[in-house]
Chains A and B, each alone.
Chain A
Amino acid sequence: MSELTESDPRPDTAAGAGAKMFGSPGTVALRADGLKITSTAGKEILHGVSFNLVAGKIRGLVGESGSGKTTAGLACMGHFRAGLLNTGGSVALYRDGEVLEVLSLNDAGQRKLRGGSISYVPQDPSLSLNPAMRVGEQIMEVLRIHRPEDSERDRRGRITEVLAEVGLRNDKAYQRRYPHQLSGGQQQRIGIAMAFACRPAVMILDEPTTGLDVTTQAMVLKTIGELTRRHAVASLYITHDLAVVAELADDVTVMLRGDVVEDGPAKQVLYSPQHAYTRRLIRAVPDLAGRHRIGEVNAVTGAHPIVTAAGPIVDAAHPIVDAAGTGPGAPQGPASGSEPVSGTRAGERAGRHALPVPHDAAPATDNLLNATGIRLNYGPAQVLDGVDLHLGVGESLMLLGESGSGKTTLARCLAGLNDRYQGNVSLSGTQLQPGARQRSITERQRIQYVFQSPFSSLNPRRTIGESVAVPLQMAGQDSGRQQRAKVLEVLDQVKLGAGYIDRRPGELSGGERQRAAIARALVNAPSVLVCDEVTSALDVSVQAAIIDLLRTLQVETGMAMLFVTHNIALARHISQRMAVLQKGRIVDVGPTDDVLDHPQSDYTRELITNVPTL
């Protein structure tokens, strides 16, 4: 960290140049030096973290979950979560020409600081705003506490001002709204307005855009960037999203398990990283352009063939997979002339592993899974509004949608988890009942669903082996020993060793749990795998490994995959075809490259322009 201190301007010059203003751009506003934090159980969480925040600049603090980035951010305000102790280091705040040692202040002093000179924007605005309080009042609360000397009229003026600064309407009616009457992006901007109300010298932003859509995220990021630069605030932006950092930050600090491994200007850290961990982290970030591949296996993209014939393992275990391809399609002729049907069939009989099929013109009859006119409403809210979707044998389709688009609902309808839809779902020509319980055992086995959060989808009280064996038990064909053998086999397939079979989910990391959840879906050798946001709860490097695994499995087993996600950047890494869902309607569908290069709808175009890139 020596290079840091050399390049820093002396804090004394801040006072001289800025006179009474603390926020003259380019001066150090906060310096954290050798922060050490230990848990009460004696484990060291931070091993001496140092960084400084410069007025008018944004420092990105990057790291995976568990790296201690939030702990370091909160330490800047002198806050340590329950069970954590500060065992060394200092945090110095330079304002009005004086130096404040944040960590040696008493409680009252720190309270005065927080919200006043140093403010914090938490991750989830829907949790951090009081739902029973009008948004104007919530901003007012901050001002009342930190500006007791101001008149009520001054405070009202400041609220109007700060709302405009964060790009929101500032009339009386807007101030009288409750948080639930605002969108997620607006809520987060209210959070930022609260943090900015007292014109802080330092803002700590803890993943403020994680829960937001790309379009909203882009707007919030713009607001943060403008505020920081125009008002010379020193910002610390905590995130795991390197692409966001690339868009926003001036400097980047990379953390790994409580240590700073790399620190420097954003361009240098992101484009010529020095530390191996940073390089690995950057390699794992999916890019929209698909220039590099994440993971070790080649991306499943339009350039790569669709797997049509199953490998020998699947053939032996489930001849259905084969029948799905040939059975229903055989009597009917191809609807589209461009489809080389006879060639495909011949190839299949010959047992070839992969065959190129022009995916854009696949006839409906040849589809493995067909959904037509899916509608679903909860009262007046139309969640799905006539969705048509088809999935070919061995094909990988990305279903892209933002929160509230109905993508999870659609995936759950297909898997039989939600039986309240109207419309028609058919699997290789046979119409399926809406609910999983009404479907036959084979139908249930052939469509498998992987849940979003591996922290919720595995029963914490049962071993991995027990959880994975549930589908086998329900099929009821195997003895206990055969089941165990199959479970071991599938655990091996998802690259979890046999050692995991008798362990509980609590002992596993997020990525391992997701592998176990995928194993449960694979154990019956499905022909369709529905993956619902399977990587959204995971770190980028783990995401890369899971994507890698899914591609490998798809090639090995020849199953079709519906990959539901909000992350458009993954498109070129996982899918041959993609469908874009907006407010319950499919607005764009086609081969991935076509959709990305020539989007048909404004919505898709907007998504593509707003996606942050590295």
Chain B
Amino acid sequence: MIGTETKTQTIQETKAPPGLLRRMLAQRQGKIGVVLAGVVVLVAFLGPVLMTLITGYTSTEFVGRPFQHDGVFGTDNLGRDILSRFLDGGLQLVIYAALATLLGMALGAAAGMLAAYQGGWLDGIIMRGNDVLLAIPQLVFALLAITVLGPQGWVLVVVIGITHAPRIARVARSATLAVITEDYVAAAQMYAVPRWKILLREVLPNITGPLMVELGLRMTYSIGAIASLSFLGLGLQPPTADWGLMINENRIALIIQPWGVVLPVLAIAVLTVGTNLITDSLARASAHLNVKDTK
């Protein structure tokens, strides 16, 4: 009879704690992050559609002489409208960064979970392979791959994704190690649930906290890496408008016409700061159920 009493009570009392995203948004940091990153992503997505409406020029159209103060933000090194190029230059950066991050997440999470779950020699091989990949500097590896395969979009995504994978694999592995000792994994094994299903259904949902944090962090790095590669001329090729490329093209006239550099730099900075803030608040949200208390 005690059992039934407590039962009815908990039905009334317990309310599911707010979800991870809601807990993230409950923090001021999280809100600022979402606004910052959201604005830049919005510019990147709507820019290509709106640029001719706003400036009257496309991003590759020559409108005058180089580095003049025509229009809102002037012209760039080849006399194209800077605002048009800025509006057009973010989309590919954001998409490539997102794809590279997702690829890295998929590869890294799969490798890390497999290594932790199987253990033994497979764990050794995967993690030592990881160490080898980690030993190669990210940008040098990307340079090498792009010189060999050419500066195409998919190469950028794959290369950056692969360089992210080992770091994500480490996080996934340690998170998985904590989960596989739980009895529900043993229960699934007892019912002979296929191993891939155990990883997908029992393990993966329980390590999303650390993985989400890693996702945000890797997104920041992806944006930085793709912008750097573009700056070095190994990313998107001219005459395509691209933020990284714009910085490189216009840096020679930084004093006469700073907007060509300042606008893309600002956008990249705001985007990375925004994703970083989101990551931080996600980390806090996944660690505490009651984030308001810890503030």
Contact = CB atoms under 8 A, between A and B. Distances in A.
B187 A280 contact: no
B239 interface: no
Given A40-B293, A511-B3, A542-B2, A457 B192 contact: no
Contact of A462 (B4, B205, B293): B205
Contacts of A496: 7
A499 B11 contact: yes
Contacts of A520: 187
B16 A437 contact: no
B190 A416 contact: yes
A41 B293 contact: yes
Contact of B6 (A40, A444, A457, A511): A511
A294 to B, nearest CB: 11
Interface string B1-35: 11110110011001011000000000000000000
A9 interface: no
Interface string B58-89: 00000000000000000000000000000000
A415 interface: yes
Contacts of A451: 183, 186-187
Contact of B183 (A456, A471, A508): A456
Interface string A454-469: 0011111110000100
Given A41-B293, A417-B186, A459 B202 contact: yes
Given A509-B6, A509-B10, A512-B10, A457 B16 contact: no
A415 B191 CA distance: 10
A453 interface: yes
Contacts of A592: none
Nearest to A456: B183
Nearest to A541: B2
B290 A41 contact: yes
Nearest to A496: B7
A545 interface: yes
A467 B184 contact: yes
What band does the interface of chain B fall in when counting residues whose beta carbon is under 8 Å from A? 20 to 34
Interface in B183-219: 183-184, 186-193, 201-202, 205-206
B201 A462 contact: yes
B2 A284 contact: yes
A436 interface: yes
B192 A437 contact: yes
A150 interface: no
Interface in B98-140: none
A544 B5 CA distance: 14
A491 B67 CA distance: 75
Contacts of A456: 182-184
Contact of A507 (B16, B186, B192): B16
Contact of B205 (A449, A461, A470, A509): A461
Contact of B190 (A436, A461, A542, A544): A436
Given A284-B2, A436-B192, A506 B16 contact: yes
A316 interface: no
Contacts of A474: 191-193
A111 interface: no
Contact of B2 (A437, A444, A545): A545
A452 B189 CA distance: 16
A84 to B, nearest CB: 11
Q: Is the interface of B mostly helix, strand, loop or mixed?
A: helix
A507 B10 contact: yes
A509 B182 CA distance: 18
A444 B189 CA distance: 11
Contacts of B206: 459-461
A495 B10 CA distance: 15
A47 interface: no
Contacts of A416: 190
A83 interface: yes
Interface string B160-187: 0000000000000000000000111011
A525 to B, nearest CB: 15
A592 to B, nearest CB: 25
Q: Which of under 10, 10 to 19, 20 to 34, or 35 or more describes the interface residues of A?
A: 35 or more
A72 B14 CA distance: 24
Nearest to B292: A41
B193 A470 contact: yes
Contacts of A437: 189, 192
Contact of A506 (B4, B17, B189): B17
A547 B57 CA distance: 79
Nearest to A471: B191
Contacts of A41: 290, 293
A504 interface: yes
Contacts of A83: 290, 293
A544 B205 CA distance: 34
Nearest to A461: B205
A449 B3 contact: no
A470 B293 contact: no
Contacts of B205: 459, 461-462
Contacts of A417: 186, 189-190
Contacts of B2: 280, 284, 541-542, 544-545
Contacts of B183: 451-453, 456-457
A436 B189 contact: yes
A400 B67 CA distance: 87
A462 to B, nearest CB: 7
Contact of B184 (A284, A457, A506, A507): A457
Nearest to A472: B191
Interface in A195-239: none
Contacts of A506: 16-17
Interface string A369-411: 0000000000000000000000000000000000000000000
Contacts of B184: 456-459, 467
Given A508-B10, A511-B3, A512-B7, A444 B192 contact: yes
B62 to A, nearest CB: 56
Nearest to A280: B2
A470 B202 CA distance: 11
Interface string A501-518: 000101111011000000
Interface in A235-261: none
A460 B206 CA distance: 8
Nearest to A281: B2
B204 to A, nearest CB: 9
Contacts of A284: 2
A220 to B, nearest CB: 29
Contacts of B4: 495
Nearest to A448: B190
Contacts of B3: 495, 511, 541-542, 545
Given A444-B191, A470-B188, A542-B6, 9 more contacts: A417-B186, A436-B192, A449-B190, A459-B201, A459-B206, A462-B202, A507-B16, A509-B10, A542-B2
26 contacts: A41-B290, A280-B1, A280-B2, A296-B1, A417-B189, A417-B190, A439-B192, A451-B186, A451-B187, A456-B182, A459-B184, A459-B201, A459-B202, A461-B206, A470-B187, A470-B188, A470-B191, A474-B192, A495-B3, A496-B7, A499-B11, A508-B14, A509-B6, A512-B7, A542-B6, A545-B2
